[in-house]
Amino acid sequence: MNVGADHCVGPDEDDGEKEKKMANLHQLLKVMIEKGSTDLHITTGTAPQLRIDGRLAPLRMPPLTAPETKQICYSILTDAQKHKFEENNELDLSFGVKGLSRFRCNIFMQRGAVAGAFRTIPFKILSFDELGLPPVMAEISKKPRGMVLVTGPTGSGKSTTLASVIDKINTERHEHIVTVEDPIEYLHSHKSCVVNQREVGADTWAFKNALKYVLRQDPDIVLIGEMRDLETIEAALTISETGHLVFATLHTNSCVQTINRVIDVFPPHQQTQVRTQLSFVLEGVLCQTLIPKQSGSGRVLAVEIMVPNPAIRNLIREEKVHQIYSQMQVGQSKFGMQTMNQALLALYRKRLISLEEAEHRCHDLTEFRGMLSGQGMGTPGGGPPHQAGEARMQGHRVG
């Protein structure tokens, strides 16, 4: 996407009437797709802003007023959704525009005015190769049971990764998939599997309600859009223990932090039992982030992966989670694991990201610089631990 010197984007026309037309939501969403933007922000006092390659840039049009933001955001709401929003002052939803894309949207109030954030969800679900996911994810997706966690900050592509995993299972296996999402993002048709997608607020009242009854629905695979609280995490562990394959997301920044988050949400007297449960059911943790490319156009995917081996399962049980990182450092060739520093080093050596960006994103700067000079737990011979994939199209990442 070409951003001008004044950091504004939009149509080249200076005609005031054409600019005025751009306040129509359908036209804004169309420009969003044309510019390769992942997010559109609507709020008062500024022109609509697009997130392109991770950075916000305003469209070339006048700042929006409170009546204009309300009109734009209300234009896609049903009467029932308007009523719910006016009761709660915030609303999650998803919708599709024929011939354009699907979108995830959050409408909220700020300083007494309506505001909205819209994110693209492409109709097409990309394959592992197209997304650049490491080969070990294909093996993880073949697991018959257990728990797989996909983590990372907001906007790191978690939903896109899970959509690709579900699509692969839907194509290759003959089973029943149940998803619980808030809201439903990617749409899955029935291929080799039966896929039932439940949206919180429309098809079920809450995650915990849906998960309470999911075992009576004869599922083989359960996707939980987000493990938000103790009840949801507890249900996910139980579903995994009873012989089902569970995929879920968390907003954590490393594999080790993910394990601690799952355990720490429980009261102290339950944590020993949870450690034991987790050590048996966990089949993989993938922590991902998107990093601006050195070329200045697009972003690349960096992935930290933990595949529990007997040593890691024992460390979880024995309350020695802090030692898991060293197991990940040496578990590349046999188990397909890699740390975030190893992923960043691979991307830097491929000249996909700058050294400054790699050092900014790394978890341990001293370790990373040691790896860079060949003195740390880097990759033998300077090669990548395995493919740290590239998100080929910025707009294909949702999370």
Q: What is the average pLDDT across 295-308?
A: 92
Is pLDDT above 70 for 381? no
Residue-range domain boundaries for the chain: 16-121, 128-396
How buried is 375 (Cβ within 10 angstroms: 0-12 exposed, 13-18 middle, 19+ buried)? exposed
* pLDDT for residue 323: 97
* pLDDT for residue 298: 87
**In this prediction, what percent of the chain has a pLDDT beyond 70?**
88
Q: What are 20-63's pLDDT values in tens digits? A: 444 699 999 999 999 999 999 999 999 999 999 989 999 999 99
* pLDDT for residue 10: 52
3-state secondary structure of 195: strand
Is pLDDT above 70 for 15? no
* pLDDT for residue 6: 40
| Residue that has been written with the tokens 């083989």 in this structure | 220
CATH pick for 16-121 out of 3.30.160.20, 3.30.1340.30, 3.30.450.90, 3.30.450.20 = 3.30.450.90
Q: For residue 318, what are its two tokens?
A: 């024995």
* pLDDT for residue 387: 42
From the list 64, 21, 19, the residue with the least C-alpha distance to 43 is: 64
* pLDDT for residue 9: 56
Q: What is the average pLDDT across 259-287?
A: 97
Q: Which CATH architecture has domain 128-396?
A: 3-Layer(aba) Sandwich (3.40)
CA 136 and chain centroid, separation: 18
Q: What is the average pLDDT across 180-205?
A: 96
Give dist(CA 310, CA 118) in Å, integer.
43
Q: What is the average pLDDT across 83-95?
A: 96
Residues 394 and 53 sit within 8 Å (Cβ to Cβ): yes
Is pLDDT above 70 for 377? no
128-396 matches 16-121 in CATH topology: no
- pLDDT category, 19, cuts 50, 70, 90? very low
Is pLDDT above 80 for 152? yes
Residues 288 and 255 sit within 8 Å (Cβ to Cβ): no
Look at strands 245-250 and 39-42 and give their pairing.
unpaired
Residues 38 and 45 sit within 8 Å (Cβ to Cβ): no
Is pLDDT above 80 for 232? yes
